[in-house]
Amino acid sequence: MKHFYKYLLFSFIIIVVSSCYYDNEEELYIKDVVSNCDTANVSFSKDIYPIFLGHCNACHDNNNTPVLGGGIALENYSDIKSAADDSSLYGSVSYNAEYVFMPEDYQLDSCSLLKIKAWIEKGAKND
């Protein structure tokens, strides 16, 4: 009877350990994400501003910046362009160790990062 309980315990452990596997779809299929990401025609109004509106403005709009945003406003083009020009914008969102990671709780998806990088490299224009 002891062998039965040992076998049962062993089986339970194997099932629990093997069921704890976690995959992130974006990491598994990164080539698909990158190949489907249009960075050739990136514009501020169509691509960049919606990223900041959806991921940054809760803390970095003009109302919350003093309390939640560390004094860094990212509410409009001039705010975002200023951060892009001093490298802090891409450094933070790309989780570069030299900058404060933003957003704090998660990293932006690969396509958003590629669009931000392309926009900055093309002069961070307001189009």
Distant-in-sequence, close-in-space partners of 65: CB < 8 Å, separation ≥ 6 = 59, 71, 72, 73, 75
Task: Say if residue 5's pLDDT is above 80.
Answer: no
pLDDT at 35: 76
Task: Say if residue 30's pLDDT is above 80.
Answer: no
pLDDT at 72: 94
pLDDT tens digit sequence for 79-105: 999 999 999 999 999 999 999 999 999
Question: Of residues 71 and 9, which shows the higher confidence score?
Answer: 71
pLDDT at 92: 96
Say if residue 66 is preceded by a cis peptide, omega within 30 of 0.
no
Task: Say if residue 28's pLDDT is above 70.
Answer: no
pLDDT at 21: 47
Question: Of residues 4 and 110, which shows the higher confidence score?
Answer: 110
User: Do residues 75 and 60 lie in contact, with contact meaning Cβ atoms separated by under 8 Å?
Assistant: yes
